[in-house]
Amino acid sequence: MATYKGINGFAVQSVATDPSPLDEGQVWYNNATYAFKLASVTTAGTWAAGGNLGSARYGSVGAGIQTAALVAMGGPIPTEGNKSESYNGTSWSSTPNLNTGRGEGAGGGTQTAAIVFAGRTPTESNATESWNGSSWTTLPATMNTARYGIAGCGTQTAALGFGGYVNPRLVQSASESYNGTSWTNTPSLGTARYRLAGFGTQTAAIAAGGSIDFGGTKTTATELWNGSTWTSNPTGLNTARRGLSAAGIQTLAVAFGGMAAPGITGATELWNGSTWTTNPNSMSTGRASYDAGCGTQTEALAVGGYTGTAPSAATEEFTGPGSPTTKTITTS
């Protein structure tokens, strides 16, 4: 009879901790938990609970990755508007406050080198602040168009901001790029909107969803930015919504949450560079008004948001399809 060693050329290893990274099909014995385990691959993206924020909020900006993230600003304003917290993959810790309290801005970067811009104070803002891992600094560079409900992406020295809302009742299509020193107007979105999702880089970005008018009419529209022009994608989101979040790059991303019809949703969609696919598993807590999102399609974070009745402190961690996961081998 064939044995595991005969087939693979080596015996099942006995270890005290599960190996990392995992290889699909890998088998081992965990002698601390007395269990045989197997490295499997997810067929659909799944959400799992993470550590709660110290302050429940909505309209926040997220930066970084699933195990090293930063969240700043948020509502209700002014109580949560200047707060900032960092995440180590398990729990959130308070960090120094922003200089200008606000919500519904945008930003990007990493846990130790982030940028946030625009937002509501409660009037629209054009302020830009940078984070160096220990403090926030107000930059002399301000956006050309003050606004909130804006989307953004990129890094601390190469960012992009687009869309948004300016009182009285002016939905924005304006797009601006930041080079680490100043903001420059770039060609506008094809569809003006606010409370949309943005992800990618300064030269390869995506704008998805949002509201196209003051009445809150939701759109599925998806546009691609190549560093010089915005192009409408032939197919949009499967669920029209506003106040959604997203994580990833222009060719591989995930979008989640938002206000749809008839209300708050936890619906999750996957982006492959040309089309959106509905993921069978939704967030446990549906939320909108910009639950902060960051990370990648395979390892994303959804943080805070508005549940329809109150701000949320919930954090959920997304493991995308095709990601290695650990399963315990049983006799059932």
Span 176-211, pLDDT tens digits: 999 999 999 999 999 999 999 999 999 999 999 999
- How far is Cα 310 from Cα 33, in angstroms, rounded to an integer? 40
**Residue 56: its pLDDT value, please?**
97
pLDDT score of 4 more than 60: no
Residue 328 lies in a domain: no
Same domain? 151 vs 236: yes
Same domain? 12 vs 73: no
Per cent of the chain over pLDDT 70 is 96
Mean pLDDT of 68-82: 95
Same domain? 283 vs 184: yes
Residue 324 lies in a domain: no
Same domain? 93 vs 192: yes
325: phi then psi, degrees, rounded to nearest 5: -135, 155
Structure token pair of residue 254? 């995930």
CATH number of the domain encompassing residue 169: 2.120.10.80
Domain ranges, residue 177:
46-319
Same domain? 13 vs 113: no
- How far is Cα 117 from Cα 126, in angstroms, rounded to an integer? 7
**Residue 234: its pLDDT value, please?**
96
Amino acid at 108: G
pLDDT score of 308 more than 60: yes
Per cent of the chain over pLDDT 90 is 80
Same domain? 80 vs 192: yes
Mean pLDDT of 128-154: 98
pLDDT score of 8 more than 70: no
Same domain? 238 vs 106: yes
Residue 134 lies in a domain: yes
- How far is Cα 191 from Cα 212, in angstroms, rounded to an integer? 7
**Residue 326: its pLDDT value, please?**
77
Q: Hunting for tokens 């995440």 — which residue is that?
A: 87
Count the domains in the chain. 2
Per-residue confidence at 3, pLDDT binned at 50, 70, 90?
low
Per-residue confidence at 217, pLDDT binned at 50, 70, 90?
very high
Per-residue confidence at 328, pLDDT binned at 50, 70, 90?
confident
Per-residue confidence at 155, pLDDT binned at 50, 70, 90?
very high
Tens-place pLDDT, residues 247-289: 999 999 999 999 998 899 999 999 999 999 999 999 999 999 8
Same domain? 129 vs 64: yes
Antiparallel, parallel or unpaired: β 324-328 and 35-41 = antiparallel
- How far is Cα 222 from Cα 38, in angstroms, rounded to an integer? 39
Residue 329 lies in a domain: no
**Residue 9: its pLDDT value, please?**
59
Sequential DSSP letters for 184-208: EEEPPPSS--BS-EEEE-SSSEEEE
Residue 108 lies in a domain: yes
Same domain? 30 vs 151: no
Mean pLDDT of 163-174: 95
Instruction: Identify the three-state secondary structure at position 5.
Output: helix
Residue 332 lies in a domain: no
Shortest CA distance to 279 belongs to which of 300, 244, 254, 314? 254
Residue 326 lies in a domain: no
Poorest-confidence range of 40-44, 80-84, 253-257? 40-44
Same domain? 114 vs 259: yes
pLDDT score of 221 more than 90: yes
Same domain? 108 vs 206: yes
- Of residues 180 and 8, more confidence is placed in 180
Burial of 16 (0-12, 13-18, 19+ CB in 10 A): exposed
Chain length of the chain: 332
259: phi then psi, degrees, rounded to nearest 5: -100, 115
Same domain? 84 vs 189: yes
Residue 253 lies in a domain: yes
